[in-house]
Every structure is written in structure tokens, then in C-alpha cells.
Structure 1
Amino acid sequence: MSVFDEARQKLRGSIAPIVTPFDEQMNVDTKTLEKLIDWHIESGSHAISVTGTTGEPSSLTIEERELVMETAIKAAAGRVPVVPGTGSTNHAETLHLTKRAQEMGADAALVIVPYYNKPNQQALYRHFKTVADSVDIPIIIYNIPGRTATNLEVKTLARLAEDCRNIIGVKESNKDFEHVNRVLLHCGRDFLLYSGIELLCYPMLAIGGAGQISATANVCPKEVADLYNYWTAGEVEKALTLHYKLMPLNDVLFKDTNPAPLKTALGMMGKINPVLRLPMGPPSEALQEEIRQTLYSYGLL
């Protein structure tokens, strides 16, 4: 079995996309990050991701992104896979960070569709193929058109999956459910499809998805992991009930731009100092109160 076949087996379930905590001086708080990772592993998260959208990568320097990746890999200590986000709007930075992830011992790299530049499909193909060819670790592409203003088309993804043996999956933060169905049709049923849309975590499992990379896992890692556990155990009714139980929490955590509500919630729970770096800022006082009441209703406060 190749390393990529092994990755297809172990990179399933809830890959928790952890926030990047800052201290009062707005420095990366590595000690708190280590505690968060321990909590996630103890709570049943199947893998860890850092420096994805929830981890505020565009607010971090390259050196800080490397620090967060290294901290996460050391803290996990092989207990669960670690999949850092290594993508950027800058091609050279993406190459550098993906190579560094491999050097640090990451289990895979999560590489986002470049944001702001709006490349065409051929340029996207060349970008991802160059990145994949530069390393020997598995690559999971991250398609989030709502943030990048560009949608990686299924035909482009299928071409990459065919031409690059280490491109093994995609995180689809894509509300077009027809699109995500066609991913598995054209890329193959063994291609790893993860939901990055909270309300689609359960439906994606039903069509053959490999799991979810859900921001909500930051506040209730056990429940988000259990959604996958119930489904794979054949306990469909439990999975469906949990899907609907999580819906109000999912909703409130996305009433402002992620990760602002999420960090506010974690601050209320005593897990982090809930600060964000500008240009991100805290939610309104009204939304903060709504978050507080929602957390109370879930027994999280």
C-alpha cells in the first residue's frame, strides 16, 4: 500500500480546523494552541488542521504560519494526523509553505484556491500541479468560492486528480450540492471529499464523503466527530438527529465572518483570549449576546 493509499484510509472523519490564538500582545499563543490540540484529541477529533480559513492565515506572517504548523505537529505527536493549510494568493509562498509542511512531518497539506487574483482554470491547474509535483506528501485542495471569488471546476479537479498521484482529496466549501456530487462522479469514489459547509456535513457523508472540516468543531469537537462516527457505524438516525441538533449553533457561528463569532465563543468558554488581528474585528454586542445564549442552550457555558 502506497503512502497515498494509507492517507486515504486515515484522513477520514472530523478534521478540526483550529483557530490561531493570540496573547494580549497579539503574538501567536503557542501554549494555548497546544492545549486546544490536546482537548481536540481527547474529545475525539480524527485529525487536526491549522492555518486554514479559521486559523486567520492572511493575518499571519510566513514565519508565524511556520510556527503554528510546527507547534501543531509537535503537540499532536503522532496521535492524530495534522493537515496544515499551506496555500496563499502567492504561488511562491504556497510552494515554500507546502515544502516546509513536508519537512516538519505533516501528514498532508491543505492548499486553498488562490484568493483575490481570480485565475482561470488552466492557471489553477498549473498552480496546483506545480505545488503537488514539488512535494511527496498528500495534497487536499481547498475550494471556497465564497472567499476566493473563484470556483475550481470539477473538470479541472478531475484533471488534477488524474495527473497528480498525491492530490487525494478536496475540501468543498461550496453550497452548490450538484457540484460536490459531480466531484465523486468524475474524480472517483475513492477521492476524499470533505464538507467545509456546516449544514452540508451530513449530506456529504450520504453521497460518499470522507468527513468534514467544520469550524463548529472548535466549540464542540466531540459532537462534530460523532456525526461521522454515527454515520460510519450505520446509526443513521443518531447522525441525522445530531445534524439537526447542531444547526442552531452552526447558524450563530456564521452570522459574522468566521472566525470572529467562533473566537468570541471560545473566549466565553475560557479556551482562548478571543482577540483577532485587524482588519478582522469582534462581532456586535447583540451578536455576542446571541452567541452567549446559544452556548448556554448547548450546555457549553
Structure 2
Amino acid sequence: MKKFIGTGVALVTPFNADHSVDVTALTNIVAHVIEGGIEYLVVLGTTAESAVLTATEKQLVVDTIVKANNKRLPIILGVGGNNTEAVVNELKTANLEHVDAVLSVSPFYNKPTQEGIYQHFKAIAEASPKPIVLYNVPGRTASNMLPETVIRLANDFENIIAVKEAAGDIVQAMRLIQNAPKDFLVISGDDMITLPMVFAGGAGVISVIGQGYPKEFSEMVRLGLAGKVTEANKLHYKIMPSIDYIFEEGNPAGIKAVFEKLELSTATVRLPLVEASQALKEKLHTFTDQLNS
């Protein structure tokens, strides 16, 4: 699945001041990241605040991105949850015509065993008409999908093509890269360790910061994939402070503050999240000015 090598971005859902979905801003953000050189789009992931969107709003977000993209880049759609039967039903009934793959998060809150995680994704793999990217993010799910489980799934199901690995553990990522089947993609889900993962053999990233600064971040990843260590590291260290900043008060409050500075959207988020503080906004605004100077 070479189309998912490089930089994908987990798109935000921009809101108007009244908290309705801002279709114009979302259209402009899609244009911003495509013009910035990213390789694919990820829709309705965690960064999209999908947990607080209605079914109607989710469809609006998908339709808006599909239209704005106009078949230019591959699209991965977030379809996951902690109710296996509900996820399976969604995969069987959803219109996935314009989707190239689905991103499915490891079950959260239930805290299943590794066997439970395997059986969950087995059911999803058997139901999905599209390739599957597993998503391991222990900081949100309260359970870690271990490399042995990922590799078992990758070996057992041809349509499980990749994992978005967001444990923030470079050693765990390296074990995945070392032992995964040929052509299985290990994708970073952590902006800060994307480049080390690429140098270790990873396929790239599904990024948050990459949508704010797509030109710089996607070029860093391409340089890393090409083995141009010095040039890639230079960009990494240039961007690195902003990665700390955008997660300082939670995601996507930070990246939305970047978009506010870029005049692409408001910084509005929905409860229980709150907008970035003025102090954080000032740091991100200053960084953005310096990066673009």
C-alpha cells in the first residue's frame, strides 16, 4: 500500500463560534494540506473530535472532505469503537465508496486482553470491504496492543495492512518494524518520534502538527525516507518546539490555535475540551511567525 507511505494528517473538525461545523474552514484546511505536499488524508480520527459529533455531522465532514479533495489524495476513514458488533455493522452499512482504507482504534475503556483485542479486529477484518489500519494509542484506550498481537493480526488477515503506532515507545515501534510481515506498514502516531521511527524502517506518520505546517513536516518525512539524515534532522529540530506546544493543553486545542493564527479556522473546540489558553496561543503564534519568516 505505497499510497500510505509518507505523511498523512489527522484532520480537525473546525467549528464556527456557535460550535456548528465550519464547512468553509474545513474546505480551506484540505486545500492547505494538499498544497503543502502531504500524501494522504485521515478523516474522523481522534483529532477530528469525532466523539462529540453527531452521525449527521460526521457525514457532513466526510462529504466536505471528499468534495474538497476531489480524488487528489487517498483517504483513510476512522471507523472504530469499543463495541465490536457496532463497528462491524457500521463497516457493513456505511458508504465507503470514496475511502481507500479504514483506521480502527483498539477498544477503549473495556480494557480487553490481548486475545480480546485480536478477536475484535478479527471480526472487523472479516467484515470490512476496505483495507484496515490498526490504531494503537494506549494513552487514550487504557490498554496497549502489543507487537505480538499486531503481528499475529497482520499475518492472519491480508486486509490488515498497517498499524498507526502511538504508544510513544520507540523500542516497541522497532519491534513491530523488525517482525512485521513484508509490506506491512508501521506508521508513527506520535509526531515527536516520527523521524526516529522512519530511520528505523517505519513508513511515515499520521500527524497532527503536519496539518499546521504541512510543507515542512512532509518534507522532513520524505527526507527521512530517503535516508537524508542531516537534512531531515535539521527540519525535525526546527519543528520540534511546536510539537510540544500543540499537545501542552490537549489535542486538538493546540493545533486549532495554529489554524487560528493561520486564519484558516477559529480555535473553537467542543466540551469537554476547552480552547487553548492565551499563553499557549501566544507561544504558537510566535513560533508560526518565526517559521514563516
Give me the TM-score of the superposition, normalised by structure 1. 0.92
Quote the residue 2:141 is aligned against: 148
Using a 3 Å threshold, how does the CA distance of structure 1 residues 226 and 16 change in structure 2: closer, same or farther?
A: same
Q: Tell whether the 8 Å contact from 1:66 to 1:100 is kept in structure 2 after alignment.
A: no
Q: Percent of aligned pairs with the same residue?
A: 37
Q: For structure 1, which runs of at least 5 residues remain unmatched after alignment?
A: 1-7
Number of equivalences: 293
Distance 1:87 1:109 in 2: 9
Shift of residue 87, structure 1, vs aligned partner: 1.3
Match of 2:74 among 81, 95, 107: 81
- Residue by residue, what CA displacement relative to the aligned partner does 1:49-102 show, whole Å, maximum 9, x if unpaired? 121111111111233223322322232122110111111233244234434566
Quote the residue 2:87 is aligned against: 94
Amino acid at match of 2:255: L
Amino acid at match of 2:192: L
Quote the residue 2:282 is aligned against: 289
Amino acid at match of 1:297: Q
Shift of residue 267, structure 1, vs aligned partner: 1.1
| Equivalences for residues 116-265 of structure 1 within 5 A | 116-265=109-258
Distance 1:98 1:257 in 2: 29
Match of 2:291 among 288, 294, 298: 298
DSSP-derived class of the 2:247 partner: coil
DSSP-derived class of the 2:31 partner: helix
Quote the residue 1:13 is aligned against: 6
Q: Tell whether the 8 Å contact from 2:84 to 2:123 is kept in structure 1 after alignment.
A: no
Q: Tell whether the 8 Å contact from 1:86 to 1:101 is kept in structure 2 after alignment.
A: no
Shift of residue 212, structure 1, vs aligned partner: 0.6
Match of 1:45 among 38, 43, 50: 38
Quote the residue 1:3 is aligned against: none
Distance 1:63 1:208 in 2: 40
Shift of residue 250, structure 1, vs aligned partner: 0.9
Q: Tell whether the 8 Å contact from 1:69 to 1:101 is kept in structure 2 after alignment.
A: no
Q: Tell whether the 8 Å contact from 1:84 to 1:101 is kept in structure 2 after alignment.
A: no
Q: Tell whether the 8 Å contact from 1:102 to 1:137 is kept in structure 2 after alignment.
A: no
Shift of residue 142, structure 1, vs aligned partner: 0.7
Distance 2:161 2:130 in 1: 10
- Residue by residue, what CA displacement relative to the aligned partner does 1:188-232 show, whole Å, maximum 9, x if unpaired? 242101111111111111111111111001210111110122223
1:275 and 2:276 correspond: no
Distance 1:40 1:167 in 2: 26
Distance 1:100 1:274 in 2: 34
* Moved segments of 4+, more than 6 Å: none
Shift of residue 237, structure 1, vs aligned partner: 1.4
Quote the residue 2:27 is aligned against: 34
Shift of residue 178, structure 1, vs aligned partner: 1.4
Distance 2:89 2:16 in 1: 27
Distance 2:284 2:192 in 1: 18
Shift of residue 255, structure 1, vs aligned partner: 0.8
Mean CA deviation greater in 233-242 or 137-146? 233-242
Q: Tell whether the 8 Å contact from 2:155 to 2:181 is kept in structure 1 after alignment.
A: no
Mean CA deviation greater in 271-280 or 289-298? 289-298
Distance 1:31 1:103 in 2: 23
Give me the TM-score of the superposition, normalised by structure 2. 0.94
Q: For structure 2, which runs of at least 5 residues remain unmatched after alignment?
A: none
